[in-house]
Amino acid sequence: MRSPKPVVARVGGPARAGGIGIMAAADIVLAAPSASFAFSEVRIGLIPAVITVPVLHRVAPFAARQLLLTGEVFDATLAARIGLVNIVADDLDGAAAACVKGLLAGGPMALSGTKALLQADLDDTDERYAALLDISARQFTSAEAREGSLSFAEKRPAAWVTG
């Protein structure tokens, strides 16, 4: 997000957890129709703390609440509808080439200045990230996270799952 140059992400398969955070930090995201997404942290007892900075800046709030809280898998069509993905394309290589060609038509200083304007209301300061890393670290060391990781590795429901 802090890069002065435009960043394009190309998603051709499953994107989960922190991978979605990386995508959300990009300026333009292209995805194949077969790509799938999930904020899977809560399902293994973790808090998706750090990725909320780019995700909440990009994704519609009503969708972020549902998807971050449920950890459910969603498709590229929904990802585009909520703002996580800009373009869904069968030909990802062609779409990426066209996107880059369009970006290269812009003046380098104009692109950098425009990115600065777009980031003006985004709190991605080192202090914000430090606070979120602390939240994440505390949860990572919890009994819940240990159980979630173990249940994931053992391919069984976590102890808190009922029904």
Hey, which residues are catalytic here?
41
Provide DSSP, the chain: ---SS--EEEE-SEEETHHHHHHHHSSEEEE-TT-EEE-GGGGGT---TTTHHHHHHHS-HHHHHHHHHH---EEHHHHHHTTS-SEE-S-HHHHHHHHHHHHHTS-HHHHHHHHHHHHTT----HHHHHHHHHHHHHHHTSHHHHHHHHHHHTTS--TT---
